[in-house]
Amino acid sequence: MKMIKILLVEDEDGIRTSIANAFSWNKLGCELYRTAASGLEALEICIQNPPDIVISDIVMPGIDGLTFVKYIKEKQPDMQFIILTGHRNFDYAKDALNLGAAYFMLKPVNYNELKEAIVSLVSRITDTQEGRKQEIQKEQLLCGLLSGRLQPENLHETPLSSWFQRVSCYQVLTLAFDNGEETADNVLRLENLSIFAGHMLKDYSCLFTKMDSGYFIIIFPYYQKEENMFAQKELFLLLQRKTADFFRTPVSMGVSKLLTGFSQLHEGYIQSMRALGQKFFSGNSSLNFFLPTHSEDICQITDFNLPSLSAQKTADLLKRSNGLLLEQLANDLFFELFSPYHQNIGLIKSSFIIVAILCIKKVVREDSRQLALILEKYGNFQMAVKAQTLQDLKDIFINLVLDLSEYQALKLSPKQTVIDKVIVFIEENYQTNISLNDIAKTVYLSPSYLSSMITRETGKSFTDILNEIRIQKAIELLKDPKRKIADVAYNVGFNEPQYFSIVFKKVTQLTPREYREMFLNEPRDI
Judge if 259 and 338 occupy the same domain. Answer: no
Residue 179 sits in the same domain as residue 97: no
How many CA atoms, within 13 angstroms, populate the side-chain half-sphere of residue 191? Answer: 6
Which of the two residues, 171 and 327, has the higher pLDDT score? 171
Percentage of residues in the chain having pLDDT higher than 90 = 35
Residues 29 and 159 in one domain: no
pLDDT, position 413: 64
Checking if the pLDDT of 8 tops 70, the result is yes
How far apart (Å, rounded) are the C-alpha atoms in residues 460 and 451? 10
Model-level pTM?
0.57
Domain stops at, among 412, 427, 446: 412
Query: Which CATH number goes with the domain that contains 29?
Result: 3.40.50.2300
The larger pLDDT score, comparing residue 226 to residue 397, is at: 397
If asked whether residues 487 and 421 sit together in one domain, one would say yes
Is 283 in the same domain as 348?
Answer: no
Q: Indicate if 320 and 381 belong to the same structural domain.
A: yes
Domain extent for 422: 415-521
Q: Which of 412, 434, 461 is the last residue of a domain?
A: 412
pLDDT of residue 21: 94
Q: Residue 297: is its pLDDT beyond 50?
A: no
**Do 60 and 113 have their domain in common?**
yes
Q: Is residue 135 part of a domain?
A: no
Whether residue 108 has a cis bond before it, omega within 30° of 0 = yes
Name the strands in the sheet holding 4-9, side by side, starting at the edge strand that comes first in the sequence: 30-36, 4-9, 53-57, 80-85, 103-106
Q: Answer yes or no: do 347 and 424 share one domain.
A: no
* Buried/exposed 77-91: b ≥16 CB within 10 Å, e otherwise: eebbbbbbbeeeeee
- Are 381 and 456 part of one and the same domain? no
> 3-class DSSP state for residue 458?
helix
Mean pLDDT of 404-416: 73
267 φ, ψ to 5°?
-60, -40
Q: 93-110 pLDDT, tens per residue?
A: 677 778 888 998 888 889
CB environment 198-226: b (16+ within 10 A), e (fewer): eebbeeeebbbbbbeeebbbbbbbbeeee
* Model pLDDT for residues 35-84, shown as the tens digit of each residue: 999 888 999 999 899 999 999 988 777 787 788 888 888 888 889 999 88
pLDDT band at 89 (very low <50, low <70, confident <90, very high): low
Whether residue 356 contacts residue 401, with contact meaning beta carbons closer than 8 Å, is answered with no
Is 62 found in the same domain as 177? no
Instruction: Note the pLDDT of residue 124.
Output: 92
What is the structure's pLDDT at 355? 87
Domain boundary among 412, 436, 467: 412
**What's the pLDDT score for residue 90?**
59
pLDDT (0 to 100) of residue 311: 82
Count of domains forming the chain = 4
Would you state the pLDDT for residue 416? 67
Look at residue 448 and tell me if it is in a domain.
Answer: yes
The answer to whether residue 376 sits within a structural domain is yes
Q: What is the mean pLDDT of residues 514-523?
A: 81
> What local confidence, expressed as pLDDT, does residue 526 receive?
47
**Tens of pLDDT along 139-196?**
888 888 888 888 776 666 666 788 888 899 999 999 998 876 555 566 677 778 888 9
Higher pLDDT, residue 502 or 338: 502
Residues 361 and 453 in one domain: no
Question: Is 341 among the domain residues?
Answer: yes
Regarding whether 426 and 401 lie in a shared domain, the answer is no
pLDDT at 222 over 70: yes
Domain membership of residue 145 (yes or no) is: no
**If you average pLDDT over residues 432-439, what whole number do you get?**
89
